[in-house]
Amino acid sequence: MSLPLEIIKKKRAEAINRIIGRGFLSTKRVYVGMATCEIAAGSKEVMNAFREAIQTGLTDVYLTQKGCAGRCNLEPTVEIVEEGKIPIKYGRVTREKVREIVERHLKKGEVIEEWVIK
């Protein structure tokens, strides 16, 4: 039978692994608009493209969804929040644009100005 302290240490280690595994401590956060209107505009494909990038090696990124941004004419939208930087919102994001966002913005730190919502 395990001692209470051993049980607590095991539970703590499991919790830390879950937190790290889900990307909660990442320095980059990607929010994909997934309101009904954004889904109709193609945001599921955008979300899947980011998931694929993470599954094939993109690291230090926490991917999640967000609700309505009130910018229907610019959907699908993606917001990138990086530690110590101003959040960047991209509009009319497609699967092809995701590839560029991953390579240029998330990997190299280059904001793609022509796609930024201002």
Confidence of residue 16 (pLDDT cuts 50, 70, 90): confident
Answer whether 30's CB lies under 8 Å from 50's CB: yes
Across 29-35, average pLDDT: 96
Query: Do 90 and 112 meet the contact criterion of CB atoms below 8 Å apart?
Result: yes
Rounded to the nearest 5 degrees, what angle is found at the Cα of 65, between the Cα atoms of 57 and 92? 85
Does 2 score more than 80 pLDDT? no
Q: Which tokens go with 39?
A: 């889904």
Average pLDDT over residues 65-82: 93
Per domain, the residue ranges of the chain are 25-115
Q: How far apart are CA 50 and CA 11, in angstroms?
A: 31
Q: Residue 24's pLDDT is what?
A: 79
- Statement: 25-115 belongs to CATH 3.90.1300.10: no
Question: Which among 28, 59, 60, 5 has a CA at the least distance from the CA of 13?
Answer: 5
In the predicted structure, residue 101 carries a pLDDT above the cut 80: yes
